[in-house]
Amino acid sequence: MSDEAILPEPEPEPGPAILPPAEEAAIVSAAAKLRTFEDDVFGKDAPRINGAVERGVGSPFARMTEHQKAHHAALEKLVAAEKAVADASAAHAVAEAGHAAAVKLAHDAEKAAADSE
């Protein structure tokens, strides 16, 4: 057996925080906020192309006030930012899993090397 230190087993990562039902229900996605805004301003039967409100000349979108256009643009940026955060979180989870696997592999290899001496 070697005098080298053997790494301790990695501790499991804590899981995601679980919100109480009242707080969880209060979280509304940016896409839902945008859809609610569009339904309020354009109506639920507004023409959509691939899920987005039509923006052509004479469309309800073209007739929005400047404040409504700014609000709509801000909501669209929020949707994009929320998607970017979700994508980054998913990439982070993949990286964490890869890291945990690499730590275990290194630990197992070190243990096997120590046992073989």
Q: Is the pLDDT of residue 9 over 70?
A: no
pLDDT at 117: 78
Q: Is the dihedral of CA 42, 47, 50, 53 positive or negative?
A: negative
The tokens describing 4, both together, are: 């080298």
Name 52's bridge partners.
49
Strands 52-53 and 48-49: antiparallel
What's this model's pTM, rounded to 2 decimal places? 0.65
Helix, strand, coil content of the chain in percent (nearest 5): 60, 5, 35
User: Between residues 11 and 27, which one has the greater pLDDT?
Assistant: 27
> Mean pLDDT across the stretch 17-34?
75
Residue 18 pLDDT level (bands cut at 50, 70, 90)? low
Nearest to 64 by CA among 74, 49, 51: 74
pLDDT at 75: 96
Q: Is the pLDDT of residue 111 over 60?
A: yes
pLDDT at 1: 46
Residue 65 pLDDT level (bands cut at 50, 70, 90)? very high
